[in-house]
Structure 1
Amino acid sequence: MVFQAGGERVQALKDIDLTVQTGDIQLLMGPSGSGKTTLLSILAGLLTPTTGSVHLLGQEITRMSRSRLARFRLKNIGFIFQGFNLFPALTAIENVEVALHMKGIQGRQAREEARHLLSQVDLSHRVDYMPRDLSGGQKQRVAIARALAGSPQLIMADEPTAALDSHSGHAVIELLRNLAKDSGRTVLMVTHDPRIIDVADQVLYLEDGLLKTPPQAV
C-alpha cells in the first residue's frame, strides 16, 4: 500500500502475504505507525491496496464494485472499534437494533434478537441503560453485541481494549473469543496490547509495513 503525502511516496505496507483460517482468532500486533490499521482497513475493503488482492469467504473483494462491496461488508463483517462508537442518545438495546435494521431485520424480530445478543454478552440487566451509564467494559460488550448482529462470519476489531483497564480488557476479549468459537466465526484483531495474546490462535507482528515473527518481549 502506497500513499502520497505532500508529494512524497510513503509505502505503508510491503509484500504482505497473510492467510487467516476460518474460526481462528488472529492478532495483528506492532508499534504505533506500523501499518496495522491500514492493513485491517484493506482486509475489510475500506481501502483498496495499491497492488495485490484480498479474498474473503472465497470472494475477491478487490474486484468488487463499491455497491457490491458495501453489501458484502454489511452481510459478512462485524466491526468493533476502540472508542465503542455507540450512539449516545440510544439505549444499549437500541444501539444493537440499529445494526439489525441496517441488515433488514425490523420490528419485534429486531428487538428480540437485540435482547438475545445482549444476553450473550451478559448485559441482560443493562438493556435499557444509556451509554453514559455504562462502564467502559459494558460499552465494549454492547459494541460486541452490535458487531454480532445479523450473524456475520468475520469480526474485525481495531484496538478493542485500548480504552479499557487490564481486567475489563481481558474479560471482554475472552468473551469475544468464546462467542466466536461457539459459532465458528473468524476474528481479526489489531492491537498493541500484549495482555490478550493468550486468547489468540495466531499472532502476527507488523513493523515498518512488514510482517515479522513476534519478538520474544511480546
Structure 2
Amino acid sequence: MSASRSRFAPYKQLPNLGLDTSTTQIGAIVAQGIEMEFKSQKRCFQVLKGIDLSISEGSIELLMGPSGSGKTTLLSILAGLMTPTKGKVYLLGEDVTAMSRAQLAKFRQQNIGFIFQNFNLFPALTAIENVEIALNIQGVRGKVAQEKSRVLLEQVGLENQANQKPGDLSGGQKQRVAIARALAGNPQLIMADEPTAALDSRSGHAVIELLRSLAKEQGCTVLMVTHDPRIVDAADRITYLEDGMLKQ
C-alpha cells in the first residue's frame, strides 16, 4: 500500500451474502448479485442480470461492451448514483445500497471523483476556477484552494493554461482540467464515463496515461466505461458486459 493510502482505515469485512467467499475477492469496489429493471408502458426491461464484480484497490479497470449492454447503468449503480433493483454494492467496505440519500451524497463527496465524456466544465470559469469549485465543495476555500488548484493543474501539465477558459482549450486540455478537478478531494475512487470519446487518438491515450500515473501515485482505484480499444493497454484488467451480463 502506498504511503498516501496509509491514512485510510482498512476495509470492513463484508457480510456473507451466500456467495462462495473462497472465490469472491474483497475489493475497493464490490458488486454482489446486481440486477436492474426499468419499466415502461407496462413493459419491463432487465438491463443488468446478476452482476458479481470485485475490483482491487489501486487498480485501473475498464468496463467495455457494445452500446446498450448496460455499462453506464452499471457504472451509475457502482458510483451510488442509482439504486439497483436487487443486489448490494460495497465501496471501500461500506454498503452504499443501504445508505440514505444524504449519506450517499456525503460519501460520494468524500470518496469519489467523477470524469465525464463531455468534460462538464463551467464555460464561464477559468481552468483554475473549475478546479477550485471542487475544493470549495470539500470546504477548502480562499488562497489555500487557489494554491491547491494550481498544484493540481501543474500535475496535469496545464500550469500555463490556468487562467484560460474551456473555450480556449483543446479537447485533451479540457479533459486534463476535468482530471485535476476529479482528483481535487484526494478521492479513493475515480469513476469515468467514456473519458476519451471526444478526443483524438493521441490526446485520448495521453489523457489515459496521465490518469493512470496520477491514480497510481495517489493510490486511487479507477473504474472506466469505454468503447475505446486504443486505451486497453493502460488497464490492469478489462471486464466485458454484454446483454446485461459479464463475459469472460
Q: Tell me if TM exceeds 0.5.
A: yes
Q: In the alignment, which residue of structure 2 is the partner of 1:25? A: 60
Q: Deviations over 1:158-192 (max 9, x none)?
A: 00000000000000000000000111100000001
Query: What's the offset of the Cα at 1:5?
Result: 1.7
Unaligned 5+ runs, structure 1:
214-218
CA distance in 1, matches of 2:161, 2:96: 38
Paired residues in the alignment total: 213
Q: In the alignment, which residue of structure 2 is the partner of 1:52? A: 87
CA distance in 2, matches of 1:183, 1:89: 30
SS at match of 2:132: helix
Paired letter, 1:129: Q
CA distance in 2, matches of 1:2, 1:76: 27
CA distance in 2, matches of 1:127, 1:61: 36
Say whether residues 1:121 and 2:170 are aligned partners.
no
Paired letter, 1:123: L
CA distance in 2, matches of 1:204, 1:121: 27
CA distance in 2, matches of 1:29, 1:212: 10
Matches within 5 A, 1:124-143: 124-143=159-178
Task: Considering fraction of residues, name the structure with more strand.
Answer: 2
2:45 pairs, out of 10, 13, 32, with: 10
CA distance in 1, matches of 2:182, 2:219: 15
Give the TM-score, by structure 1 length.
Answer: 0.97
Q: In the alignment, which residue of structure 1 is the partner of 2:108? A: 73
Q: Deviations over 1:60-117 (max 9, x none)?
A: 0000011011000000000000000000000000000001101111111100010010
Paired letter, 1:116: V
Unaligned 5+ runs, structure 2:
1-35
CA distance in 2, matches of 1:12, 1:2: 6
Say whether residues 1:86 and 2:140 are aligned partners.
no
CA distance in 2, matches of 1:45, 1:177: 23
Say whether residues 1:145 and 2:180 are aligned partners.
yes
CA distance in 2, matches of 1:135, 1:5: 40
Paired letter, 1:133: D
Q: In the alignment, which residue of structure 1 is the partner of 2:140? A: 105
Indicate the RMSD between aligned Cα atoms, in angstroms: 0.5
SS at match of 2:48: coil
Q: Deviations over 1:15-47 (max 9, x none)?
A: 100000000000000111110000000000000
CA distance in 2, matches of 1:164, 1:67: 35
Query: What's the offset of the Cα at 1:7?
Result: 1.4
Say whether residues 1:161 and 2:196 are aligned partners.
yes
User: Identity of counterpart residues, as a percentage?
Assistant: 69
Query: What's the offset of the Cα at 1:6?
Result: 1.9
SS at match of 1:53: strand
SS at match of 1:162: coil
SS at match of 1:15: strand
CA distance in 1, matches of 2:41, 2:133: 39
CA distance in 2, matches of 1:118, 1:137: 13
CA distance in 2, matches of 1:161, 1:75: 25
Give the TM-score, by structure 2 length.
Answer: 0.85
CA distance in 2, matches of 1:115, 1:207: 41
Paired letter, 1:154: L
Q: In the alignment, which residue of structure 2 is the partner of 1:181? A: 216
CA distance in 2, matches of 1:28, 1:6: 30
